[in-house]
Amino acid sequence: MRFIFKEDTYSKNRGKYSRIIHIYCRKCKSDIGYYQKDGGSKKYMGQLRRLYIDRFTVGVSKNISKGKNLVCSKCKEVLGTRINYSQEDRPAFRLFVGAVKDKIIQVKENK
Ligand SMILES: [Zn+2]
């Protein structure tokens, strides 16, 4: 599967690398979705603390994107809670520590 990277001020502000990562529930291993993580260095992605709603590429249902919490659709574990990242006025989920696992699928070097 190939993904189209979003390029905008958010990705530009975060530097040279963007990654598509596969996010899944740590507890039951169900898919949560594919997500574009902007920033980090070539070798180190940086910790996932927030998932911005606008960075989900596929796999996130409308219910999840509108919900108050990020909930695993299979085991119903609450993975994160909805916030508005005030520095950018940008809706996101703040992840609970250790709630999700992630796997890098694709890396792009930004021009
Ligand atoms: Zn689960």
Convert the pLDDT of each residue in 34-76 to its tens digit. 999 999 888 888 889 999 999 988 655 555 667 789 999 899 9
Question: What are the tens digits of pLDDT across the range 26-35?
Answer: 999 999 889 9
**Segment 20-29 mean pLDDT:** 95
Domain contains 74: yes
Overall average pLDDT of the 4-29 stretch: 93
Cα 48 to Cα 96: distance, rounded to the nearest angstrom: 10
Does residue 2 form part of some domain? no
Q: Given pLDDT bands bounded at 50, 70 and 90, which one contains residue 93?
A: very high
**Protein residues placing their CB within 5 Å of the ion ligand 1:** 25, 27-28, 30, 72, 74-75, 77
Cβ contact 100:26 at 8 Å: yes
Closest by Cα among 95, 107, 109 to 23: 95
Per the domain annotation, does 4 fall within a domain? Answer: no
SS3 10: helix
Give domain status of residue 32, yes or no. yes
Distance CA 41, CA 54 (A): 22
Find the 82 Cα to ligand 1 centroid distance in Å: 18
Q: Is residue 27 part of a domain?
A: yes
Backbone angles phi, psi at 82, to 5 degrees: -75, 135
Domain holding 61: CATH number?
2.170.150
Domain span including residue 72: 9-109
pLDDT for residue 78 is more than 60: yes
Number of structural domains (the chain) is 1
